[in-house]
Amino acid sequence: MSGVSDAVEYLERKARPRLAHRHVAGTGPTIVFLPGYMSDMAGGKATALFDWAASEGRACLLLDYAGCGLSDGLFAEQTLLDWRGDVLDLIDARIEGPVVIVGSSMGGWLMLLTALALVQRDGPGRVAGLIGIAAAPDFTDWGFTPEEKAIILAEGELREDTPYSDQPYVTTRAFWQSGEANRLLEAPIPLACPVRLLHGQEDGDVPPDISLGLAAALASDDVQVTLVKGGDHRLSRGTDIALLIDSVARLTD
């Protein structure tokens, strides 16, 4: 595939829902953007990154997880590892060579899980770098109160109002259990690639301490945490997106 594909493409799979994605070929490691929970590739950060990559002749892949955005499947039937499988399937189908994975919020957890799987399978050279935006590994642990966890286990799901959508956040028992089985912060994380972690100091959803804890857990010696004064969870202001693109550009040069 060459040039820019503004149109949405679909990856057909036998045993799993087909996946909507956008891909532009180019130089350097392929930039892979992983959106957050109940988010998709149409978001401002993903779109800005894709447009920048296309204008600079750099390879980039956007995607919607199964049950999200334009992809097939039911959201409530997906787990954290299902979505990791979606990312790996698209990387295998569309990308040759190294990747720089950019993960936003929950996408930051999937970024780590995907990188660990790629390194274990293909060797450390497959992952050229990671960039987390308010990365939220282990949020099934620290992101819910004991009362909320009890509701998830007893009733099978938790529904919460969210300022980010007109639809409630739904956390299913299967997703929560998948998250709990794949927590990362309580042990060393064996990733040695460069890592950049961007986090708003006014993030009311993912405490900045999560990025600091992640930096400490990573095996890499090349980890930088940037705390953005006045930045909220989304980090989607013009200055925030400029910081993101600058961070990606430096890691992919």
Tokens of 176: 């929560």
**Distance from C-alpha of 243 to C-alpha of 237, rounded to nearest angstrom:** 10
Q: Are 86 and 59 in contact (CB under 8 A)?
A: no
- pLDDT recorded at residue 93: 97
The one-letter code for the residue type at 36 is: G
Question: Quick one: pLDDT at residue 189?
Answer: 98
H or E element that contains 60: strand 58-63
pLDDT band at 6 (very low <50, low <70, confident <90, very high): low
pLDDT band at 2 (very low <50, low <70, confident <90, very high): very low
Q: Can you give the pLDDT at residue 202?
A: 96
At 1 the pLDDT is 34
pLDDT digits (tens, 9 = 90+) for 168-188: 889 999 999 999 999 999 999
Closest CA to 65 of 50, 53, 80: 80
Q: Which residue has the tokens 């994380």?
A: 189
User: pLDDT over 70 for what percent of the chain?
Assistant: 97
pLDDT in tens, 13-48: 999 999 999 999 999 999 999 999 999 999 999 999
Q: What pLDDT is attached to residue 162?
A: 74
SS3 179: helix
- Over residues 43-72, the mean pLDDT reads 97
Q: Is the pLDDT of residue 87 over 70?
A: yes
Q: CA angle at residue 49 from 176 to 67, to 5 degrees?
A: 35
**Mean pLDDT of the 157-162 span:** 87
Whether the CB-CB separation of 45 and 235 falls below 8 Å is answered with yes
Please tell me which residue, 160 or 33, carries the higher pLDDT value: 33
The confidence score (pLDDT) of residue 168 equals 83
Mean pLDDT of the chain: 95
Q: Which domains does the chain have, with CATH numbers?
A: 9-252 (3.40.50.1820)
Q: Which amino acid is at 7?
A: A
Instruction: Pinpoint the alpha helices (H) of the chain.
Output: 44-56, 80-94, 106-122, 139-142, 146-155, 173-180, 208-217, 238-252
The count of C-alpha atoms lying within 13 angstroms of the C-alpha of 16, restricted to the half-sphere facing its C-beta, is: 23
Alpha helices in 21-105 (DSSP H): 44-56, 80-94
> Could you report the per-residue pLDDT of 224-246, keeping only the tens digit for each?
999 999 999 999 999 999 999 99
Residue numbers annotated as active site = 105, 203, 233
